[in-house]
Amino acid sequence: MDPPPEHCMFGPYKIHSKEVFYATPLSFAMVNLRPVLPGHVLVCPRREVKRFDDLSAEEVSDLWHSAQKIGSQLERHHGASSLTFTIQDGPQAGQTVPHVHIHILPRKSSDFEKNDEIYDALDEKEKELKQKLDLDKDRKDRSFEEMAREADEYRMLFS
């Protein structure tokens, strides 16, 4: 694993290295500002790319290889039995930050009554984030300190 730079860009937003827990030359993984479930993280290409189709073959390979490795560790760490990997590719798909990212969610049998409700929950969190970004309403976000602690915990899984 490569050390993360001082910060990574996630679309127009600077993500502090303390929120990043995994990095390669082409990808990085960060904790989520508004997780749907414990262990909900994001994996992004280092290059700012809006749409999945704009990634190079090397970036696609590295992104999914990173997601596979991270998902496996987080599934064990959270005592989950499955994983949801999802990409919202473009605004009509629910993407609120114009930078390709894979959501990884460790799943347990009791997390949602109906399995596909996970997508409604993701959509709701994205809408809340869009309102926050557009209107700067009262934050329901996690604190930087809370996110840094979680990233420290996850970083240990890859050291």
CATH number at residue 94: 3.30.428.10
Q: How many domains does the chain have?
A: 1
Residue 118 lies in a domain: yes
Residue 1 lies in a domain: no
| Bridge partner list, 42 | 30, 103
Residue 112 is classified by DSSP as -
Band (133; pLDDT cuts 50, 70, 90)? very low
Q: Per the annotation, where are the binding residues for substrate?
A: 32, 88, 94-97, 103
Q: Per the annotation, where are the binding residues?
A: 32, 88, 94-97, 103
Q: How far is Cα 120 from Cα 126, in angstroms, rounded to an integer?
A: 10
SS3 at position 119: helix
Tens of pLDDT, residues 66-94: 999 999 999 999 999 999 999 999 999 98
Tens of pLDDT, residues 1-28: 655 567 899 999 999 999 999 999 999 9
- Predicted pLDDT at 137: 42
Contact present, 88 and 120 (Cβ < 8 Å):
no
The parent domain of residue 55 ranges over 7-158
Residues tagged active-site: 101
Residue 4 is classified by DSSP as P
CB atoms within 10 A of CB 92: 7
